[in-house]
Amino acid sequence: MPARLGMNGIEYYPWKGKTFVQITSYIKHNNWINKMMDKTSFFRPPPVKLHRREIVSTYDMSRCNVRTSSSINVLDQPGGSILLSNTNANVQTKGLPTTVDIGYPNNVTEQLGQCNDPYTCNATNARNRVRSSGMIKKKFDESRNNDRYYTNASQYLVSRNKTFQQNQYNFIRVGDPSLLPGDAQSVTNIYSPQGLNHCQQYYVPVDTSFGYQWLDASNYQVSIPSGHYNLDDVNALLKDTMANNEHYFINNNGGNKVFLLNMTYNTAASKVELQTFLSNRALFATTHFGQYSAPTDMSYQLWINGPNTSSLVDTSGVPTFIIKDNAFQGAIGFNAGTYPSRGIGEGQTLTNQSFLSAFTPGLSPTYVPIYYKPNNPQFSQQGGVTASSLITRVRYNTITNNTAAFRRTYGSAVANSLAYGVPEYGYTTKDKVGYPNKCTPTFSKSSGEQRNCNSNTIVHQI
């Protein structure tokens, strides 16, 4: 190649891989005779001697360059060209070949039927990277109870509990709930925002379990598979196991299940609390006319009613937790043992009992703390409010303050503007004095005498 001002020439890069050749027609002059004519063509009219376009033919080398007959109009017209692979060299010589842009891929994985491994296919990789209109594959992070991927900044802020709507209301976690948020005395209070709290949960590395002893003096196991849990999840596993074993009472008033074992978190002590409740016939009468009823398990019915249903047995007992020597100890914060220490029929203390964890449990409440200290605690928000909100607050305070003076005379319900409509109504003057009956005077048509009588009809009461 020629040098460019003393520099090396531009290297020519040939087409890589396979290309397509675009074959167009050219003008050819027909001959009326053909030496290779078949005998069947005899006595038939030969082709007209004129020029016509032909797309697959041999070059007439006696003429000048046949490429001069090619035009843009021929390329643009429908059916004016055909595409052939450059591997077919015989066909390329029978027309006007022009190279088309590369349309055949160099990567064999892009060919149909050649991509077997999705990790090396560019097409599969590209489809995985395409972001559709919200229809993405959810990737859930079990350790934080949240998604791993967010499509916008709003979803990210919600997952971190940083939005304005989530922080408009507060739920106290640590401190005195009677103090007004934003007050100087509520500095030590810790609150959590409304909505779901996306926090890291306690991880149980292996399958574990604990047990409980029911009123029939039999032990039952509660299985906990490996995974991320909080205290509510473990308590739900306990209740599900007891429900499957029919170890509960049914409140006939609402049909709710009443369990005698419960797990909760003591916020004041920052420990897990195991609660067991006493059961006997005085507390849980299982007759159809009582407040509670028993499941259909016959062994449970025999324990409550005794072998003979006509002679009721007043048996009392407290179910127990059985903490095993396994990974569940660190999760709940209890040493291996039985809580309470004495089981059914072993001289139990027949009262409701609760036990606090011996060391710091792993199943502690998970929440995002916020220090709810608005500078406008009367309206529970940061900053000023609108005029309508101020007028509403003034009206509310006026009603509450003015009616407080009538508390002694008309009752405590009148002194609270929020007590309107509740069963405890306040008394007014008309309620105490009474409503006088109206008496409309009438006049006789004959004598014109006025008559004052009690109103017996609606017309006289107008």
- Judged against a pLDDT cut of 70, whether residue 143 lies above it is answered with no
Compute the average pLDDT of residues 237-254.
85
Compute the average pLDDT of residues 209-217.
87
> Is the CB of residue 213 less than 8 Å from the CB of residue 338?
yes
> CA-to-CA distance for 310 and 320, rounded, in angstroms?
29
Phi, psi of 412 (to 5 degrees): -75, -20
* CA 227 to centroid of chain Cα atoms: 19
Identify the residue with better confidence: 293 or 391.
391
Question: Residue 103 has what pLDDT?
Answer: 54
Domain ranges of the chain: 20-99, 136-200+368-382, 207-356, 387-424
Identify the residue with better confidence: 192 or 198.
192
- Judged against a pLDDT cut of 70, whether residue 64 lies above it is answered with no
Compute the average pLDDT of residues 4-18.
58
Residue type, 98: T
> CA-to-CA distance for 411 and 428, rounded, in angstroms?
10
Compute the average pLDDT of residues 164-178.
76
Q: What contacts 69, CB < 8 A, 6 or more positions away?
A: 26, 27, 96
Question: Residue 321 has what pLDDT?
Answer: 92
- What is the pTM for the complete model shown? 0.49
> CA-to-CA distance for 55 and 51, rounded, in angstroms?
13
Angle at the Cα of 409 from the Cα atoms of 403 and 412, rounded to 5 degrees: 55
Question: Residue 415 has what pLDDT?
Answer: 53
Identify the residue with better confidence: 349 or 83.
349
Question: Residue 394 has what pLDDT?
Answer: 87
